[in-house]
Chains A and B, each alone.
Chain A
């Protein structure tokens, strides 16, 4: 769009470009983190129901007696766990489920039937009981009832890690909002500076019959250019940072953490961020001009 005002060479408008860049950079990282975390959380809640797993060692031996003795241990453990404060459900995994779990490591076949297998109990806690839960004390109670029983808390650990991740995500959102606010202030400042620098030209435009909107459009177009420039810069800088984080997250996987990744839809959301930022910058400039001109005689 052609312009009657030399808005370019303004120093505070390059500040706007830099701030939009910073804002988009942070926003892309925060949004990517949040989206990836969401994906992990989705998959996690899908794969595993409970928060804790109890492991009951089998009674040695292959006969029916040994099996019955193991079943008794499991029953005893379930009894203790059901009574434990805060437990919503405790369920022993069936042998079939156990086989599916172990298959990947041992392979299927008769050998499974002959092995004395530890039994697993899937424990789901009431959400309100989770924060105050002391897994050590719980394990102690379980061991007293069934010697050799252990409590596997890595899932609890992971869910707490995800909570932490979510908190970090919110922190990111807050930082983006703060930088966004700073950007808005800078845009208002740059626009007001431009309005006062070009006041004589604006007066002439008014005398010639220009509506406020004609002048506001020029400022808005300029602000949009600054915003797009900054947004593109911030986005470009965020890409290598994302790649680096992705690499680190990839190394973590292997264990119980599901693979971290972004879907196509996530990428579309990320790509929209610089445009959204530029749009906000444009709108801020426009409103600033219209409000200021409305007060002019």
Chain B
């Protein structure tokens, strides 16, 4: 579906199978207005995308549909080749274990140490404590939290919490990484470092989708962008000017997706 675009999908040749696919998806919360109107897109395996849109445009909601916290009101959501729109509850844990999610509000567990928070996905998946003690401190050191292994989230700064949340999302090398404003609370230097971490994962095959407000980041990294506006979704290929378009020439390359 996206292959004909001939763009750079990350550092890996696109897989034939889409990891995420939305077909004519509509979503509304209870009796509220429609957040999405018939949106469709697919993320090929190993691709890297940004997700942009103004505040309230529905970035978190779209990610929520991907990590199965929300079910679409209409249309079909396919994950790893499986239609999950009406998947039974019992099928969800297996799917979720293949994903890493960085929540916009972190959702760390306050009474657990940074170590234990990051270890959770491994524990849930039954990984041995020996492996956990080996990998978790290593990753936390990598995100610059070597001195905060035993700190509880309430004692960490916003940026530190964010890095714990990111470490938790990537610790089990997910097939799909969904990150909601993962650099919202850190300075540029750390933001770059975290983006490089995501790129590393992407190189190893992880499909990445990052919701962000950070224009600089989108400009600096050569990845296509899904843009949400007024309940619709458009794909902006690499190099197109983010936000309010940049001149008519550029805009002609932006086309509604699919």
Cβ–Cβ contact A208 & B121, under 8 A? yes
Are B109 and A207 in contact, CB atoms less than 8 angstroms apart? no
- Whether the Cβ atoms of B112 and A209 lie closer than 8 Å is no
Complex contacts, A207 vs chain B, CB 8 Å: 67, 69, 96, 101, 103, 107
Q: Contact check, A211 vs B112: say whether CB atoms are below 8 A apart.
A: no
Quick one: which of B67, B99, B107 has the most chain A CB within 10 A?
B107
CB neighbours (8 Å) of B109 from chain A are 4, 201, 204
- Find the residue from A4, A203, A207, A211 having the highest chain B CB count within 10 A: A207
Q: How many residues of A contact B (CB 8 A)?
A: 16
CB-defined interface of A42-80 with B at 8 Å, one 1/0 digit per residue? Answer: 000000000000000000000000000000000000000
- State whether B89 touches A294 (Cβ < 8 A): yes
Bound CA–CA A297/B70 (angstroms): 9
A214 to B125, CA, bound (A): 10
The secondary-structure label for the interface of chain A is helix
Partner of B124, one of A201, A205, A297: A205
B92 proximity list for chain A (CB < 8 A): 206
Instruction: Indicate if B186 sits at the interface (CB-CB under 8 A).
Output: no
Contact between B111 and A208, CB atoms less than 8 A apart: no
Given A207-B69, A207-B101, A209-B97, A200 contacting B125 (CB threshold 8 A): no
Q: Is A6 an interface residue (CB 8 A)?
A: yes
Binary interface encoding of chain B residues 94-116 relative to chain A, with 1 for a CB under 8 A from any of its CBs, else 0? 11110101010001010110001
- Among A6, A209, A297, which residue has the most Cβ atoms of chain B within 10 A? A209
A210 at the interface (CB under 8 A from B): yes
Q: What CA separation (Å) do A297 and B124 show in the bound complex? A: 19
Q: How far is the CB of A198 from chain B (nearest CB, A)?
A: 9
**Interface flag for B65 (CB, 8 Å):** no
A294 cross-chain contacts in B, Cβ below 8 A: 89
Residues of B contacting A200 with CB < 8 Å? 107
B120 at the interface (CB under 8 A from A): yes
Query: Are A205 and B107 neighbours in the complex by a CB distance under 8 Å?
Result: no
A209 touches B69 (CB 8 A): no
Given contacts A209-B93, A211-B93, A294-B89, contact A4 B120 (CB under 8 A): yes
Can you list 16 residue pairs at the A/B interface with Cβ under 8 Å? A4-B112, A200-B107, A204-B107, A205-B120, A207-B69, A207-B103, A207-B107, A208-B120, A208-B168, A209-B94, A209-B97, A209-B125, A210-B93, A210-B124, A211-B124, A214-B124
Give the 5 A-B residue pairs with the shortest CB-CB distance, closest first: A209-B97, A209-B96, A210-B124, A209-B93, A211-B93
